[in-house]
Amino acid sequence: MEAMDAVKLRLGLHIAIQLSTRGNGYLQSSGLGNALKSSDPERCGQVVQRALNLIYVLSVIVEPFMPSTTAALLDQLNAPSRTVPTEFAVDILAGH
């Protein structure tokens, strides 16, 4: 967020892409899919919950670049707008 506050838009976008890439790597390594859902539903739920929370964080980070996308994500998540967190947290809980 510091990069974006200092109007370093390229750096801010680069950070958003890095975070998205790391999240995608997590999803790929977790084996999220029907097999995981069948073999370990609890683990599958944890992966989905983390993915939703990452999307929630990304929604605020990409808002300056894609405001309509952020609005659509928040609508789909049924979540309010938020500020950029200093740490990753679980804000969207199971059953949300």
Phi-psi category of residue 31: left, alpha or beta, with phi > 0 → left and psi -120 to 50 → alpha: left
Per-residue pLDDT of the chain (96 residues; tens, 9 = 90+): 666 566 677 888 898 999 999 999 999 999 988 898 899 999 999 999 999 999 999 999 999 889 999 999 999 999 999 888 888 888 998 777
- Hunting for tokens 């929630």 — which residue is that? 56
Q: What is the pTM of this model?
A: 0.82
Distance CA 14, CA 12 (A): 5
Distance CA 26, CA 48 (A): 11
